[in-house]
Amino acid sequence: MLLIVGVVALVVYTISVGLGLLGGAVPFYRTYLLVALPCVLPLLWNVAGFLLYDSNDYGLLLAGAGWGCAASGLFLQYMAVTAAMAQDPNALTSGVPVGGATMILVVLALVLIMGGALLSSRRLSSGTRR
């Protein structure tokens, strides 16, 4: 039940941020930070699952690391955008390119999340879960 409530809250939060961005209530540079915050929930969920329930399922740990990389990449981009805007107020209209470190973290996040899901699903399908 708690999982369903969490998923519904996450969907409502995401839709609210999206509508706020489209309506102009949320500045575009803050969305990096607002999208990074929900990445912490799956990070905690996967790490807690590994530590509390199944310490042999390294897929959970990989996926948790992936969510951590995603949150870090988005936070890094938020910091880059706010630093660029502090130097040049016109950066708000000209846009700030995605940095190399941010791109590496996001790609690494995707690889880790998919690898963790694959590792966990193979483990579940082989029946080696305790």
Q: What is the pLDDT of residues 45-56, one digit of tens each?
A: 899 988 988 778
**d(Cα 92, Cα 86) in Å, to the nearest integer?**
10
Number of domains in the chain: 1
- 113 within domain boundaries: yes
Q: pTM of the predicted model, to two decimals?
A: 0.81
- 59 within domain boundaries: yes
- 6 within domain boundaries: no
User: What crossing angle do the helices spanning 40-48 and 58-87 adopt, rounded to 10°?
Assistant: 160
Domain that holds residue 77: 28-125
pLDDT in tens, 94-129: 556 777 888 899 999 999 999 999 998 887 777 655
* Mean pLDDT value across residues 63-74: 94
- 76 within domain boundaries: yes
